[in-house]
Chains A and B, each alone.
Chain A
Amino acid sequence: AQKITQTQPGMFVQEKEAVTLDCTYDTSDQSYGLFWYKQPSSGEMIFLIYQGSYDEQNATEGRYSLNFQKARKSANLVISASQLGDSAMYFCAMREGHGQNFVFGPGTRLSVLP
C-alpha cells in the first residue's frame, strides 16, 4: 500500500493567488513526522516545512503552511501569494518512528502562471 499519496500530478495557479497541494499518508505509528520538499528544475531538493504528529498547531514557514488533519491523515501544503519562482515539483514525505523509514510521495508539479 502507498504510504504517501499525492493525487495531483500537476497543478496550475495564477501568480499572487494561494494554492493547496494535497498529501495523505498511511501509518500505524503514533510518532511520525511529515515533511514537504521543493524540487525546482535545477534538481536540488529543498526542505520547506515540517509537522510532527504530536504538534497541535499547524506548522507555518513564511508563505508555506501545512494543513494537518490527523484524523483524516492528511498534510496538505498551502502556498500563499504564489510567485513565479514557486514553479517546481513538490514532494510530501513521512518519517515513521525513529527514522528508519522515510518515504516520499510521487510529487506534484506546480506551475505558476504570470
Chain B
Amino acid sequence: DADVTQTPRNRITKTGKRIMLECSQTKGHDRMYWYRQDPGLGLRLIYYSFDVKDINKGEISDGYSVSRQAQAKFSLSLESAIPNQTALYFCATSDSKGVRGQGTGEQYFGPGTRLTVT
C-alpha cells in the first residue's frame, strides 16, 4: 500500500462548486503539505502543517483552505472553485526529526489529484 494517498485521483467540477481533496499518510510524519503544479511553474506551496495545531499559509493560499483532522490526515478545500484552479495537486509529508539532524527532511509525495474546473 502507498505511504501517502490522495483522493480523488481525478475530479472535474464546475465553477462555483465547493470541493475537498483529501490526503492520508501512514509514514508517521508530523509535517504535511499541499502543492499545486502548473505547466512551466514547478510546484507551488499552498499550505503546510507542522503538526495538528500548526497550520500555515504558503505562497498561494488565496482561494484555498485546509484542515488537519489528525496527524495522518490533511485536507484541502476549494470553497468556490474557479477555472484557474485547474491544476495537478500534490500532498506531501516530511519528518521534522530529519530537519533536526537525524535525517534529511525530504518530502514524500502522494500520487497527485488532477483537478479540472470548467
Contacts and interface: CB of A to CB of B under 8 A. Distances in A.
Same complex origin of A and B: yes
Interface of A: 4, 9, 33, 35, 37, 43-45, 47, 50, 52, 91, 93, 95, 98-100, 102-107
Interface residues of B, number: 28
Contacts of A52: 104
A43 B88 contact: yes
B107 A91 contact: no
Contacts of A33: 104-106
What does DSSP make chain A's interface, helix, strand, loop or mixed?
Answer: strand
Contacts of A50: 104, 106
Contacts of A103: 45
B43 A91 contact: yes
Given A44-B112, A50-B106, A99 B94 contact: yes
Contacts of B45: 102-103
A104 B42 contact: yes
B40 A98 contact: no
B12 interface: no
A43 B115 CA distance: 13
B79 to A, nearest CB: 25
B49 to A, nearest CB: 11
Given A43-B111, A45-B109, A98 B42 contact: no
Nearest to B9: A43
Contact of B41 (A43, A47, A102, A106): A106
